[in-house]
Structure 1
Amino acid sequence: MKEPVFIAFSTQKGGAGKTTLTVLMASYLYYVRGLKVLVVDCDYPQYSIKEMRDRDVEILRINSAFKKNFMEQRERIQRDPYPILITKPEDALDRARAIIESGKEDYDIVLFDLPGTINNPGVAKTVSLMDYIFCPVAADKLILESSLAFAMKVRDEIMTVSGCSVKDMYMLWNLVDAREKTDLYERYEEVFEEQMLQTLKTRLPDAKKYRREGSKDAARAVFRSTLLPPDKNLLKGSRLVELADEILGIIKL
């Protein structure tokens, strides 16, 4: 049995996009690239990904266009939707391991959606047992300061401890405003580099499509869903494919 790669898009500031990135990457890698994915929603107590799956299932029940797309995709890829494990952060690793070791599925990637606070011992332990951490950051003062503080805390207080599994951590530019000057991000990256923090090359734009979910009554293309992959037309210009390629290169999958 192969060992799956444990990944978390993690930061402590709400609004940075960690849950959206987790869902988009899970759906793209599973439904489009064919990788076997397990999602662990341990963002206690709100469990945002579970709520998204529940909404998707309800839309599937009442929206015929959404149901048609779902059934056509299921027939094409011959797969049920990827599983979502709901658990408290302190139990996340044990419960994920139990699923993996059951041997029912040979997972490639396990994606964790963690709570924002790193001061909780259960969260800190779970973070320490990730293989890779991608920390979303935006050119917003509060998000920037919070994400930087989170990354430095992980670097200084988690990655230095014996038994830590983290191989690499990267900052990830999200919600990039096309009107911002490029050199603004380059100056911030110089600060990251001074703090010995790596930055992914791919920058994700601030685009409304990232929030495009299924609708109970409208027959529209969907970008963010736990039951469907991002729509092919909406993928254009999203940089999601480039992000997936860069991450898969880093984790060697």
Structure 2
Amino acid sequence: MKTKKKTLKISFATPKGGVGKSTITSLLASVLHYRLGFNVLVMDCDFPQHSLVNMRERDLKMVMQNDYHKRAAMKLYQSINKKAYPIINCKAEDALSTALKHISQSAVEPDVTFFDLPGTANSKGVLTTLRAMDYIFSPVSADRLVMESTLSFTKAFLGLPETEESNNTQEMWLFWNQVDGREKSGVYEAYQSVIRGLDLTIMKTQIKDSKRFRKETDDTPNSVFRSSLLPAETALLKATQMDLFVDEFLKIVKL
């Protein structure tokens, strides 16, 4: 008898804003759900802005107004025979219970639930929720303030004493985001050395910076990238190395 895998709890967490955790969450969720056949649930706990919930509202408006995206959406949902992945609005302290309640009432159990949390660990419920994750991925960039705050947070988090909420099998991975091709490789090598010295784990794939990360679905045909209703175009994933990131991510979380 085959044992059913449990729903994975995953968060892209960082103590520093503006390094792309919400964007990566939406890109990865869309690729997994619409292109790779997994069932996804997204918990938008980033109070008060709730950027992913607001993004879904903008995406719905664009699909209804634009013929190209409307046709693309109809074709997609007919071919995969399922709906768009749910994005649930909640606060960090209620995230785990709200997700559990939604899953218990859902006809289809998700393979993975993404938790998009506030960027500050001082926000109520953030640390408790993070401790329950199966995997935490933290984006870093070649910026001294980003690097210092992320490494300090990561080491402090890993050094916290165990509690009832702790997940003993939890894995934490850093990854390079917003990599500028013009940046000298020596900068990244120096930071890599620091990361290794702290006995932290970093992914091999580096996500390249692109204006696409700051641009949502618009009225330009064949330009879908950052959307919660459609998967990013394959060519755009390759251009940013998101395709390689997805492959490595799947190996790490064993999906």
TM-score tier (shorter): over 0.9
Residues 54-203 of structure 1: pairs in structure 2 closer than 5 A: 54-157=57-160, 160-163=161-164, 164-165=166-167, 167-203=170-206
Q: 1:205 aligns with which of 198, 203, 208?
A: 208
Q: Structure 1 residue 67: deviation in Å?
A: 0.8
Q: 2:238 aligns with which of 216, 236, 240?
A: 236
Return the letter of the residue paired with 1:10.
A
Cα distance in 1 between the residues matched to 2:45 and 2:11:
11
CA contact (8 A) 1:16 1:136 kept: yes
Give the TM-score normalised by the residue count of structure 1: 0.94
Cα distance in 2 between the residues matched to 1:26 and 1:51:
16
Q: How many residues align?
A: 250
Cα distance in 2 between the residues matched to 1:37 and 1:211:
23
Q: Decide whether aligned partners of structure 1 residues 220 and 241 sit closer, same or farther in structure 2, where only a CA change above 3 A counts.
A: closer
Moved more, 80-89 or 178-187: 178-187
Q: What's the counterpart of residue 6 of structure 2?
A: 3
Q: Structure 1 residue 121: deviation in Å?
A: 4.1
Q: Structure 1 residue 162: deviation in Å?
A: 3.1
Equivalent pairs: percent with the same residue?
42
Return the letter of the residue paired with 1:150.
F
Q: Structure 1 residue 184: deviation in Å?
A: 1.7
Q: Structure 1 residue 45: deviation in Å?
A: 0.5
CA contact (8 A) 1:138 1:176 kept: yes
Q: What's the counterpart of residue 46 of structure 1?
A: 49
Moved more, 148-157 or 196-205: 148-157
Cα distance in 1 between the residues matched to 2:235 and 2:199:
37
Give the TM-score normalised by the residue count of structure 2: 0.93
Cα distance in 2 between the residues matched to 1:103 and 1:206:
37
Cα distance in 2 between the residues matched to 1:64 and 1:16:
33
SS class of match (1:203): strand
CA contact (8 A) 2:92 2:124 kept: no
Unpaired segments ≥5 residues, structure 1? none
After superposition, the C-alpha distances for 1:207-241 in whole angstroms (9 at most, x for unaligned) are 122233212x4445110000000012212222112
4+ residue stretches of structure 1 with deviation over 4 A?
Answer: none
Q: Decide whether aligned partners of structure 1 residues 39 and 56 sit closer, same or farther in structure 2, where only a CA change above 3 A counts.
A: same
Unpaired segments ≥5 residues, structure 2? none
Q: What's the counterpart of residue 29 of structure 2?
A: 26
SS class of match (2:9): strand
Q: Decide whether aligned partners of structure 1 residues 45 and 121 sit closer, same or farther in structure 2, where only a CA change above 3 A counts.
A: closer
